[in-house]
C-alpha cells in the first residue's frame, strides 16, 4: 500500500465529503475548514496533480459559465484506488491509536 501525505489525505477526504461539488475552490475551502489553517493554493493544486498522476482521483470538466468568463470548472472524484487508500489509512489510524490514553493537554 502506498501511503499519501497528510495534505493529500485531507484533500481526498474533502473530495469524498463534497461529492459532485468537489472542484478547486470548494476543495481548498474544505481543507482550510478541516485543518483550521491557511494553505497556499499552489500546495493544494500540486497535491491534486500528484493524486491524479497516481490515479487516486479523477478529474472532469464542467460546462463553461459566463461567471467564469467562459471557463470550465474542473471537478474531482475519488477512484476505487483512492477509496481503498482512505480505507487503509482509517484502519491504520484506528489500530495505531487503539488503547492509548487521552492526552491531558490544555488548548493554548
Give the model's pLDDT for residue 12: 99
Beta-carbon contacts of 23 under 8 Å, excluding residues fewer than 6 positions away, are 62, 73, 74, 75, 76
Say what the pLDDT of residue 108 is.
Answer: 62
DSSP state of 100: P
* CATH number of the domain residue 42 falls in: 1.10.10.10
Residue 74 lies in a domain: yes
Q: Is residue 100, in this structure, part of any structural domain at all? A: no
Instruction: Give the domain range for residue 19.
Output: 6-93
**Interval 88-103: pLDDT, tens:** 999 999 999 999 998 8
Flag whether 105 is in a domain: no
Q: How far apart are CA 1 and CA 95, in angstroms?
A: 16
How many domains, the chain?
1
Confirm whether 103 is domain-assigned: no
Mean pLDDT of the chain: 94
Residue 76 lies in a domain: yes
Q: Nine-digit cell at 18?
A: 463534497
Q: Is there a domain that residue 80 lies in?
A: yes
pLDDT band at 37 (very low <50, low <70, confident <90, very high): very high
- Give the pLDDT confidence score for residue 68 in this predicted structure: 80
pTM: 0.88
**In-domain check, residue 1:** no
| pLDDT band with cut points at 50, 70 and 90 for residue 15 | very high
In a domain, 70, yes or no: yes
State what percent of residues in the chain have pLDDT above 70: 97
C-alpha cell of residue 62: 464542467
Amino acid at each position: 500500500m502506498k501511503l499519501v501525505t497528510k495534505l493529500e489525505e485531507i484533500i481526498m477526504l474533502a473530495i469524498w465529503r463534497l461529492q459532485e461539488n468537489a472542484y478547486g475552490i470548494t476543495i481548498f475551502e474544505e481543507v482550510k475548514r478541516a485543518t483550521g489553517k491557511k494553505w497556499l493554493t499552489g500546495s493544494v493544486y500540486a497535491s491534486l496533480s500528484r493524486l491524479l498522476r497516481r490515479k487516486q482521483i479523477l478529474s472532469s470538466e464542467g460546462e463553461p459559465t459566463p461567471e467564469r468568463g467562459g471557463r470550465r470548472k474542473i471537478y474531482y472524484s475519488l477512484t476505487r484506488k483512492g477509496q481503498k487508500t482512505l480505507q487503509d489509512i482509517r484502519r491504520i489510524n484506528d489500530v495505531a491509536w487503539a488503547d492509548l490514553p487521552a492526552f491531558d493537554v490544555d488548548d493554548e
